[in-house]
Amino acid sequence: MANLSFQLLRSATGSEARRGRLTTPHGNIETPVFMPVGTQATVKAVTPHQLAELGASIVLSNAYHLYLRPGTAIVKDLGGLHGFMSWPRPILTDSGGFQVFSLGHLRKVTEEGVVFRSHHDGSEHFFTPETVMRVEEDLGADIIMAFDECAPYPCDQEYARQAMERTHRWSARCLAAKRRDDQWLFGIVQGGIYPELRRESASFLASLDFPGYAVGGLSLGEPKATTYAILAETLRWLPTDKPRYLMGVGSPEDLIECVERGVDMFDAVLPTRIARNGALFTRTGRRNIRNASFRRMDAPVDPTCDCYTCTTFSAAYLHHLFKTEELLGYTLASVHNLRFLVKLMEEIRAALDSDTFPALRDDFLARYVPTNEEVRVAQKAKWEQAQRAKGEGR
């Protein structure tokens, strides 16, 4: 394929962690990597210039949303996503499967595809594996995703099996329909939280010889221990010489844990979503900038951070911006959270290069206090319910 390759540069001692490099027509991507999410051709509250400055090497956009607005014909005519959003570096597009299946009563699944109604105006649309390939090819991202059916959590094993088997059939159709040789098409492993289904799905998709593989249907509300266990079981059955992408995961502790299990690529709306609510990452856990303790703090929220926000503004200033609901606060908080994750991935790659990843992992996890599991699940469920109501999603 034109200007597309993956090199596995190093495997860690004592874990499944990997160091690699993806080559695309729009530049190299050093892995493991975190991809900021620009669902509608924009990372919320952050400019492309700011993304480049904070070190982002690739961003993710969503085919479902861009198909509805502004329409793929407009994006194609204006230079594809790279030209449309003025982002010269690599882009990945999600197929929209997660969003379509989040529509609930607004969609109907058949073997041919999914009939759904726009959450904007109620107009009816039909997605098939073939039409999704046309949409993603018109958008022009470097990496595109197959159309899949994402089973919800919780669901019984039979439901998960049916969704998985339909995903397999649709994956084969996506491969057959793909035309451009300057895009990589990744298959998506499904199977819910059932290890035997995950093994079956990973093995089947590996037999189709995709250039890369995503793990979908996790981080949907299940306990993190379950996420990690199912992920590890899934990755065991995927080729070691091809990139592995865990969809929708982006909390700092998860990046560490999932890199250790062999993941190369991550994405999540988490850093920008919580930033707009005043939550900022630090080396010891999240901090709520609205708290009174920051009102007079003449120092950055995270003194170890090298982002524009932390090297320029005090925590007291950020506190003021959020208390007065000034829009700049959302940008500065988003820049910080994205840089925090991008920098963490830089540190992980450096540790893999020097074969010191276990020490980095142990040191980070010893200091970082994750959000309480019950609170995390409740917050995510509330957010996803709100997103479903307006047809959005991660």
- Cα–Cα distance for residue pair 318/30, rounded to 1 Å: 32
Q: Is 267 a catalytic residue?
A: yes
Distant-in-sequence contacts of 325-328, Cβ < 8 A, 24+ apart: 327/45
Secondary structure of residue 332 in the 3-state scheme: helix
Radius of gyration in angstroms for the set of CA atoms belonging to the chain, rounded to a whole number: 20
Catalytic residue among 77, 94, 148, 254: 94
Structure tokens at 227: 């996420």
Rounded to whole angstroms, the Cα distance separating 102 from 98 reads: 6
Strand-pairing partners, residue 285, are 282, 369
Rounded CA-CA distance 80/73 in Å is: 9
* Residue that has been written with the tokens 């046309």 in this structure: 134
Give me the catalytic one of 138, 264, 267, 302.
Answer: 267
* Residue 334 neighbours by CB under 8 Å, 6+ apart: 43, 44, 45, 46, 271, 272, 275, 276
Q: In what order do the strands lie in the sheet with 107-109?
A: 107-109, 114-117, 124-127
- Report the alpha-carbon angle 222-163-221, nearest 5: 10
Q: Which residues contact 389 (CB under 8 A, 6 or more apart)?
A: none
Q: Is 20 exposed, middle or buried (0-12, 13-18, 19+ CB in 10 A)?
A: buried
Q: Is 363 a catalytic residue?
A: no
User: Which positions are annotated as active-site residues?
Assistant: 94, 267
